[in-house]
């Protein structure tokens, strides 16, 4: 198991926790953290004891993008990311890593700039009532692209574009993020955020891991395709579960009024069935 210096990995029951842990730097992502994300997502996704993953931050910020002091301080600057970014070969979110388990992002405090990667790429997002969302890229001469693109496929466009163009000069409160559907729950008081995230994750963990993985795959792929194509591919996901033990266990448990006993999730069942970026420029599997 990897030792982490910029992240904390915890397990609470069936819930795996991935916690941004550079509170002094408002959880800004340096090189080390970037590499650790790649490992941490896979470690939790492959652990059969983990059914749902919660991602949150330590301290007064959830996350604030790339660590600008590292970029400014070592003479290499953004150039270090040129190859990986030009090829969009990045590995720091659950979506990038093809994580099959449900991922809940629990936004505490500041969520700025690059932090939207983990809002856009999560399955479920909740936020503390004191969370604040803003995207300062253009105020410091930077382009915002990937994280806003992910967001605008999932919520009203205008709000995303407004954040992109307002930069650091305006912040969106948690309540407005809730109204717009960027998040599904505001936790008040804010101190209850982790408790509520654990509770929500445990609730989701009561559902069939295999059915959730296939559903997640179908829904994320729908963001790659036109409506009819998305339905066609989704139909394959649907049929892929037929004959799976959970499909008989579910109705049986319901009829017997007992909690179902699901088959263990299959660790790393192969990239073909994983959600995540489409594998080539022809979107979606054939």
Q: Which residues sit at the interface with another protein, rule CB under 8 A?
A: 68, 72, 78-79, 82, 85-88, 137-146, 148-150, 152-153, 155-162, 164-167, 169-170, 179-181, 220, 223-225, 277-278, 281, 283-284
Nearer to another protein, 155 or 211 (CB): 155
Token pair in block for residue 140: 């410091």
C-alpha–C-alpha distance, residues 234 and 222, integer Å: 8
Contact 163, 191 (CB under 8 A): no
Smallest gap from Cβ 2 to another protein, in A, equals 26
Smallest gap from Cβ 22 to another protein, in A, equals 19
What DSSP line would sit under 148-183, residue for residue?
HHHHHTTS-HHHHHHHHHHGGG--EEHHHHHHTTS-
Nearer to another protein, 47 or 229 (CB): 229
Smallest gap from Cβ 105 to another protein, in A, equals 17
Nearer to another protein, 98 or 209 (CB): 98
Contact 265, 100 (CB under 8 A): yes
Nearer to another protein, 181 or 251 (CB): 181
Token pair in block for residue 111: 């969520």
Token pair in block for residue 227: 């409506």
Nearer to another protein, 138 or 253 (CB): 138
Nearer to another protein, 55 or 117 (CB): 117
Smallest gap from Cβ 141 to another protein, in A, equals 3
Smallest gap from Cβ 115 to another protein, in A, equals 16
Closest alpha carbon to 121 in 275, 266, 258, 228: 275
Smallest gap from Cβ 59 to another protein, in A, equals 21
């Amino acid at each position: 198991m990897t030792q982490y210096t910029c992240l904390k990995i915890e397990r609470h029951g069936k819930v795996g926790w991935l916690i941004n842990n550079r509170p002094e730097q408002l959880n800004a992502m340096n090189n080390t953290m970037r590499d650790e994300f790649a490992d941490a997502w896979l470690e939790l996704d492959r652990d059969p004891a983990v059914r749902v993953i919660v991602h949150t931050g330590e301290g007064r910020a959830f996350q604030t993008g790339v660590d600008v002091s590292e970029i400014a301080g070592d003479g290499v600057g953004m150039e270090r990311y040129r190859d990986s970014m030009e090829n969009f070969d990045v590995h720091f979110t659950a979506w990038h890593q093809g994580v099959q388990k449900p991922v809940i992002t629990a936004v505490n405090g500041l969520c700025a700039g690059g932090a939207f990667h983990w809002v856009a790429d999560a399955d479920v997002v909740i936020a503390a009532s004191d969370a604040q969302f803003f995207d300062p890229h253009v105020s410091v001469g930077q382009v915002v692209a990937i994280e806003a693109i992910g967001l605008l496929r999932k919520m009203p466009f205008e709000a995303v574009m407004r954040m992109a163009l307002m930069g650091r000069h305006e912040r969106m409160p948690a309540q407005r993020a809730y109204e717009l559907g960027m998040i599904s729950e505001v936790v008040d008081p804010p101190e209850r955020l982790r408790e509520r995230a654990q509770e929500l994750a445990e609730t989701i963990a009561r559902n069939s891991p295999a059915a959730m993985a296939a559903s997640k795959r179908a829904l994320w792929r729908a963001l790659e395709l036109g409506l009819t194509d998305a339905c066609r591919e989704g139909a394959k996901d649907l049929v892929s579960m037929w004959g799976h033990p959970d499909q008989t266990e579910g109705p049986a448990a319901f009829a017997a009024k007992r909690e179902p006993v699901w088959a263990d999730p299959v660790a790393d069942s192969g990239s073909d069935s994983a959600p995540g970026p489409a594998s080539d420029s022809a979107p979606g599997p054939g």
